[in-house]
């Protein structure tokens, strides 16, 4: 994963609450076996509407999404994160996120910045009035700034550190492989194993 310290880009206001991952990318687009090419499914159902914010010319090229409360709820599909990234988004700012979506974002390098819903309302107004003004999201200083705008944002320490260092989670865990092996040695023998396979006799 590439290291992430700060990002500057224009933003897009998504004035909707409860945008579940089925809306971010409908199931029919989940059939690919790669992590690329999901941008065509991003908000697929809403993109038919010429007035949908993704279709508005003033927000073309935006890399920061200002989302409503409870963004990314529902299904665990990491394809939702890939779709946002494939489309070009680097940061999503919001007040509340689905847990799994937020976790998936951290793993894939999409920055989730949390601010109060009041700040979201201010950002929506700011971006609608100033769609071409670049916004900077500073992971190091946990700040969102633009000419004429400033706010602190929340990013948990651990995710922030991993993103800043561009660390591979699995590599980090494998540094403790001896402790995993030790834990495995002490696991009770009655815990189930999938192998060798046992099945019921045919009924």
Partner 1 sequence: MGKTLSEKVWDDHVVRTADGEPDLLFIDLHLIHEVTSPQAFDGLRQAERTVRRPDLTLATEDHNTPTLNIDLPIADPVSRTQVETLRKNAREFGIRIHSLGDLDQGIVHIIGPQLGLTQPGLTVVCGDSHTSTHGAFGAIAFGIGTSEVEHVLATQTLPQARPKTLAVNVNGELPVGVSAKDIVLALIAKVGTGGGQGYIVEYRGSTIEALSMEGRMTICNMSIEWGAKAGMIAPDETTFAYIKGRPHAPEGTDWDAAVGYWRTLRTDPDAVFDAEVDLDASQLTPFVTWGTNPGQGVPLGAEVPDPEIFAEEADRTAATKALEYMALRPGQKMREIRVDTVFLGSCTNGRIEDLRAAAGVITGHHVADHVRMLVVPGSARVRLQAESEGLDVIFKEAGAEWRAAGCSMCLGMNPDQLAPGERAASTSNRNFEGRQGKGGRTHLVSPLVAAATAVIGTLSSPADLTGTR
Q: C-beta of 8: minimal distance to partner 1 in Å?
A: 26
Q: Which residue lies nearer to partner 1 by CB, 132 or 178?
A: 178
Q: Which residue lies nearer to partner 1 by CB, 150 or 176?
A: 176
Q: C-beta of 83: minimal distance to partner 1 in Å?
A: 13
Helix (H) / strand (E) containing 37: none
Q: Chain-centre distance of CA 168, in angstroms?
A: 17
Q: Which residue lies nearer to partner 1 by CB, 74 or 134?
A: 74
Short-list 164, 165, 173, 105, CA closest to 140: 164
The rounded distance, in Å, linking the Cα atoms of 198 and 81 is: 37
Q: Which residue lies nearer to partner 1 by CB, 132 or 181?
A: 181
HSE of 161 in the Cβ direction (CA atoms, 13 Å)?
A: 5
- Please check whether residue 44 is in contact with residue 26, taking contact to mean a CB–CB distance below 8 angstroms: yes
For tokens 């073309």, name the residue.
Answer: 60
Q: C-beta of 38: minimal distance to partner 1 in Å?
A: 11
What are 50's two structure tokens?
A: 């010429």
Contact positions toward partner 1, by CB under 8 A? 15-18, 20, 22-23, 26-28, 30-35, 45, 68-70, 73-79, 81, 96, 98-100, 103-104, 107-108, 117, 156-158, 169-170, 172-174, 176-177, 179-180, 183-184, 187-195, 197-200, 202-203
């Amino acid at each position: 994963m590439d290291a992430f310290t700060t990002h500057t880009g224009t933003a897009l206001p998504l004035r909707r609450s409860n945008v579940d991952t089925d809306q971010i990318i409908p199931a029919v687009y989940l059939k690919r076996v790669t992590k690329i090419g999901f941008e065509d499914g991003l908000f697929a159902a809403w993109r038919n509407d010429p007035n949908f914010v993704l279709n508005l010319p003033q927000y073309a090229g935006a890399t920061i999404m200002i989302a409503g409360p409870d963004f990314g709820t529902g299904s665990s599909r990491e394809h939702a994160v890939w779709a946002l990234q494939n489309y070009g988004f680097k940061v999503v700012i919001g007040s509340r996120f689905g847990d799994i979506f937020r976790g998936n974002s951290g793993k894939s390098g999409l920055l989730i910045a949390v601010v109060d819903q009041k700040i979201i309302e201010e950002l929506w107004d700011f971006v609608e009035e100033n769609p071409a003004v670049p916004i900077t999201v500073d992971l190091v200083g946990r700040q969102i700034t633009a000419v004429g705008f400033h706010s602190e944002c929340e990013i948990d320490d651990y995710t922030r550190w991993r993103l800043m260092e561009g660390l591979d989670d699995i590599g980090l865990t494998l540094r403790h492989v001896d402790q995993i092996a030790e834990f495995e040695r002490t696991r009770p023998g009655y815990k189930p194993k999938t192998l060798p396979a046992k099945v019921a006799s045919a009924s």
